[in-house]
Amino acid sequence: MSPSRDILVDGVWRNNVVFSQMLSLCPALAVTSAATQGLGMGMATMAVLIASNMLVSLLRGLITDEVRIPAFVLIIATLVTIVDLAMNAWLHELHKVLGLFIPLIVVNCLILGRAESFACKNSVALSALDGLAMGAGFTFALTLMGALREIGGSGTLFSGASTLLGPAMGALEMRVYPGAGALVMILPAGGFIVLGLMIAAKRAMDARQASPRVQEASCHSPKPVAAAS
Amino acid sequence: MSATDRPRAPATASLSARLIALLALAGGKHALVLGGFSLAATGLLAVAYGLTREPIEQSAREDLRRSLEQVIPASIHDNNPAADTVQLQLDGTPLLVYQARQAGHVTGVAFETSRKGYSGEIRLLLGIDERGKLLGVRVLKHTETPGLGDKIEVTRSDWITRFTGKSLGDPPDAQWAVKKDGGPFDQFAGATITPRAVVNGVRDGLRLFAAHRKTFLEEVSP
């Protein structure tokens, strides 16, 4: 596999932020009571992640190893604050809906994690691609969780999409079944339940794919590989 | 400035040189890197703040104007209530009141009131006509559970519009409550606290208006 394809597959699925790396679980649990919000938070995070990855990669020659963490935090916080101000000024309607989530992006460990483990070692182009892939994976995870919780809890899907993403996206809004669903799905407990199920499903799929290799590896290694995957 | 310009410069220069040397000894390179980053970040933020301040204020004013339009119908005034404000002191608490006037006569007022909801403050904007009847209620800001308590927003449900036309006597004072508490106002499936807070907030606002009606309607020459 070519390196760029590898980065894409890694970010979107194989090493998915939420389902595999288990990072950024706080926003994943907090904003996914509806699919639209998961989508909005995912896209805002992706934009910041691409920009911060590129910036960190660009400045990686300047940043010394010892102070890299505070320097990254500074870069990310500055970036998010500027995005917040700019959106409030020029994309006011979108900011009213997403405004609550934007400051949360600063403390999203996904951003710092990618700066530390990828962007500070790779070229600007690859870092941008990594940001795109990881961001897309995050968006995918949040939208999927939001969709499952919304269908289970409210009986709708993508409700409010037209206010968040413009009238054109109103076509996405639908009612899956009449009446309200199981309330627990929208409440925080529903977030944990859906997240747990999703992680279990991802691991089952990974294990199924890896099973021939695991047996082979376990002949040589003292510890079974499956436990570490 | 070069050292030859001023006689005292060499002393200062050597002091700062010594300071830099000291910093370098104490791992100053990192300090300089971090200091430089902080400086650049501060500069960038200052520029971004300066560029966005005016548009942000403008959209905030626009938001306010639009909310006021929704709680005070255009037919009862010929002024701009967003600009026609009075700062009242009611029992020691300040309150900003937007007055709607028709030919100078105050025909209605709008003001903010807030009430604790399920998760934090719910800020309401109330429009009341001179006889104490509600012209409209809108939620300005809230942090209720998305998908559950956010049906108090007019963009998600018409629930909030049902307050229009109500007043302190209609329904009777004891029945200013959600259905669960014996009143006529619907609660939402799975969310009672949020609508209850809004109903109580609106009632409190009406009571405030009734208690200080004269002050609210006082014609202050602009």
Q: Is there a cis peptide before residue B73, judged by omega within 30 degrees of 0?
A: no
Chain A's closest residue to B38, CA to CA, is A74
Task: Give the number of other Cβ atoms within 10 Å of residue A18's Cβ.
Answer: 26
A45-87 pLDDT, tens digit each: 999 999 999 999 999 988 888 888 999 999 999 999 998 898 8
Kindly determine whether residue B190 and residue A180, on different chains, have CB atoms separated by under 8 Å.
Answer: yes
CA distance A99 to chain B (A): 12
Tokens of A68: 């890299």
> What's chain B's average pLDDT?
85
- pLDDT value of position B108: 92
Whether pLDDT at B3 is above 80: no
Distance of CA A139 to the CA centre of its chain: 5
Q: Judge contact between A28 and A195, C-beta under 8 A.
A: yes
pLDDT band at B4 (very low <50, low <70, confident <90, very high): very low
Alpha-carbon distance values, A173 to A35, A166, A194, B203 (Å): 10, 12, 21, 35
Whole-number Å distance between alpha carbons of B179 and B163: 14
Quick one: closest CA in B to A38, which residue?
B146
CB of B119 within 8 Å of a chain A CB? The answer is no
- Predicted local distance difference test score (pLDDT) of residue A78: 93
Q: Is the pLDDT of residue B111 over 60?
A: yes
User: Can you tell me the ipTM of this complex?
Assistant: 0.71
pLDDT at B44 over 80: yes
What are A's interface residues with B at a Cβ cutoff of 8 A? 31, 33-34, 37, 62-64, 66-67, 70-71, 74-75, 77-78, 81-82, 85-86, 88-90, 92, 96, 100, 150, 153-154, 159-160, 163, 180, 183, 186-187
pLDDT band at B22 (very low <50, low <70, confident <90, very high): low
Query: A182: nearest CA in chain B?
Result: B190
Q: Distance between CA atoms of A137 and A148, rounded to whole angstroms? A: 17
Closest Cα in chain B, distance from residue A92 (Å): 7
pLDDT at B165 (0 to 100): 92
Of the residues A74, A96, A102, the best mutation for testing chain B's interface (the one with the most B CB atoms within 10 Å of its CB) is A74
- Distance (Å, whole) CA B116 – CA B112: 14
Whether B150 contacts B119, CB under 8 Å: no
Spatial contact of B111 and B98, defined as CB atoms under 8 Å apart: yes
From B21's Cα to the closest Cα of chain A, the distance in A is: 19
Q: What is the pLDDT of residue A122?
A: 93
Distance from CA of B105 to the nearest CA of A (A): 35
What pLDDT, in 10s, does the model give residues B129-157?
A: 999 999 999 998 888 876 678 889 888 88
Judge whether B77 and B108 are in contact, CB under 8 Å.
Answer: yes
Which residues on adjacent β-strands are paired with residue B111? Answer: B97, B126
Which of A64, A86, A90 lies at the smallest CB-CB distance from B29? A64
**Interface membership of B50 toward A (CB under 8 Å):** no
Residues B114-124: pLDDT tens digits?
Answer: 999 998 899 99
pLDDT for res A229: 38
pLDDT at A212: 65
Q: To the nearest whole percent, how much of chain B has pLDDT over 90?
A: 44
- Low-confidence residues in chain A, pLDDT < 50: 216-229
| CA pair distance B17, B14, nearest whole angstrom | 5
Q: Are strands B85-90 and A174-175 parallel, antiparallel or unpaired?
A: unpaired
pLDDT band at B55 (very low <50, low <70, confident <90, very high): very high
Interval B144-171 mean pLDDT: 86
pLDDT band at B24 (very low <50, low <70, confident <90, very high): low
A63/B56 CB distance under 8 A = no
Closest CA to A30 of A182, A181, A195: A195
How many angstroms separate the CA atoms of A43 and A98, rounded?
10
Q: With helix as H, strand as E and coil as C, how does A192-225 read?
A: HHHHHHHHHHHHHHHHHHHHHHHHHHHCCCCCCH
Q: Which residue has the higher pLDDT, B90 or B58?
A: B58
Report CB contact under 8 Å: A33, B143.
Answer: no
Among A78, A88, A97, which would you mutate to test the B interface (most chain B Cβ atoms within 10 Å of its Cβ)? Answer: A78
Asked if B50 contacts A89 with a C-beta cutoff of 8 angstroms, the reply is no
Sorted by sequence, the CB contacts under 8 Å of residue A149 that are 6+ apart come out as A32, A33, A34, A185, A186, A190, A191, A194
